[in-house]
Chains A and B, each alone.
Chain A
């Protein structure tokens, strides 16, 4: 089962290694990971997507909480949350097929951000499922290269994944 964990960490040297090292050492599989700042100076937020059963996720959360630089771990999967991932796709685009690609991109609300004589770069955001569907459609044109950010996620409404320092 896919789970999305939001991990608030102190912004200290090596903290990413501590978190990712914990996953690899205990045999948990990270599907993707995204790291960025929060509104609070000195605190970063990691969003980690893992594939694991509920017991394993519970262990992961407990083990993460034991890391001294970890402030808070929240499982955003079951919550009502907004999940997004951004992907850039470089796709083959001979002049004859460009409009076809453009139409497809429009359907997925993707943007064309670069065009060269025989290729295009398309930017698409959404949940993982949408990106997978779009990728599938692009395959028939020939995908040259992709890159993506990994999922990030926020709770809907005014609730926040608050830092515990009160």
Chain B
């Protein structure tokens, strides 16, 4: 079948079951957009390409399907970069299609030319500059395949303008075998036996689990595993929802803002079963003090993660769900009751907590607890980056996987709101709440226009502390209280900002107003912004100072 390059892209999207794309047009993608018009493909037009990239990312995280984002050459493409890097760090399948100047102009500094494959080399799983129409069908196929298999990640296709118009044979391969790319899914049987033996013998084992559990859909297996072997669980920020927060043996998050129970359990564990995690520095603190007593079983689909930061005694390369399924056939309940009693004692004595002392000084944690209560813990929650992100992680006690959407690896301020838009596009009927920072929200608040235009009922809860709070907290603790450039005085009136876009706006200044306002927001159709004016000086505790041991905690005292 003869198709033009643009038609090939559309045909591919159809074959890959893509029913919506996010993007922003321009000169180098006119032909492609013409085809989108003709075919009536659902397209969400954002106000900024970064918004489109995060929206596609949010869509992918909640659906487990690749998100697709389209931008024009030059500035359109470079505006995607933060979004692509965000997806890369969190292993999110994303397909970015960028226009490029026509082939004869490449390399001449033509109008709106940018070497986007060069620029995105370190932040994509793979990328392509299409130089010949004959290559396009397999490049499209390969892009989807690579993005969505193995350790998932973003793939970019740079498509010169002339190739979009050129005709070629469209022969879409239905299967692919790439000799240079073969992810390992099945764990090595010998290693699995070794791991199960170690688990059976362990008196103090601990499951330390992460985003890999979510992306492989292993949450049920994980819970079964923990129950059967009686092993407590700590999940990273990316792994929240991997087990329900109310699960008896769940210890909360480890690391810099981890719980006392999780950090002490890591410190005392004899066997650390690391599942779909990468021993990030925000989790480990000072590396050579991390889990000093533990042998390590490390299960991950990416062989390069194993031994990268922490050496594994029993490495298992494979898909987390498949490996846990195999292990479940073998594991026996070990002798862990003393250990469980000990860590559950810590959990009880050292809960994450705060004090809502007076009606007038509203605590951010109270707001998030109220959001949790009034949504029955069932909402999809996206966050920005900062203090509110940590409070969201602690107090919006997640029940389900793929419901806590946050930029964990890159820590991208401004991620939350466009990601919420993507999530709402994927699930129009679900409650989607963006827990935003007053600083972060202003990085992509222009997308209010998008939410209003497409009638996406995203509720944005701004935790307005009038500061770049997380940075302010570091300045307070480690820089002598010198608040250099962290005041957000001069921010807009968020209620009126929302109204200017045609969205609804509410405000809560004290405890008494919180529930009323949340109720009202949840019952208002369409997008809503709620400005929660909270205590500006509240800190996220407990906290571990950077590059110290995770049991040297500030806060987190016994109650």
Contacts and interface: CB of A to CB of B under 8 A. Distances in A.
Given A71-B179, A164-B179, A66 B304 contact: yes
Given A17-B121, A65-B304, 4 more contacts: A13-B129, A55-B311, A68-B125, A68-B181
B126 interface: yes
A59 B307 CA distance: 8
A97 interface: no
A129 interface: no
Interface in B101-132: 117-118, 121-122, 125-126, 129, 131
Given A68-B181, A69-B180, A59 B121 contact: no
B307 A55 contact: yes
A13 B304 contact: no
Contacts of B118: 14, 17
B304 A62 contact: yes
B559 interface: no
B400 to A, nearest CB: 31
A69 B178 CA distance: 10
Contacts of B125: 68
Nearest to B121: A21
A63 interface: yes
Nearest to A25: B122
Given A18-B121, A68-B146, A59 B180 contact: no
Interface in B253-306: 302-304
B303 A65 contact: yes
B308 interface: yes
List the 8 closest pairs (A to B, CB-CB), nearest first: A62-B304, A68-B126, A165-B179, A68-B181, A25-B122, A71-B180, A63-B304, A62-B303
Interface residues of B, number: 19
Contact of A58 (B117, B122, B307): B307
Contacts of A66: 302, 304
Contacts of B178: 68
Interface of A: 10, 13-14, 17-18, 21, 25, 55, 58-59, 62-63, 65-66, 68-71, 164-165
Nearest to B181: A68
B146 to A, nearest CB: 6
Contacts of A62: 303-304
A14 B119 CA distance: 12
A14 B307 contact: no
Contacts of A63: 304
Interface string B181-218: 10000000000000000000000000000000000000
Nearest to B151: A66
B281 to A, nearest CB: 15
Nearest to B182: A164
Contacts of A18: 121
A59 B304 contact: yes
11 contacts: A14-B118, A17-B121, A25-B122, A59-B304, A59-B307, A65-B304, A66-B302, A66-B304, A68-B125, A69-B180, A165-B179
Contacts of A13: 129, 131
A152 B459 CA distance: 61
A63 B303 CA distance: 9
A57 to B, nearest CB: 11
A61 B125 CA distance: 17
A115 to B, nearest CB: 42
Contacts of A70: 180
Contact of A10 (B131, B180, B303, B311): B180
A165 B181 CA distance: 11
A156 to B, nearest CB: 27
A69 B125 CA distance: 11
A18 B126 CA distance: 10
A146 B129 CA distance: 37
A164 to B, nearest CB: 6
A164 B178 CA distance: 11
Interface string B161-188: 0000000000000000011110000000
A68 B180 contact: yes
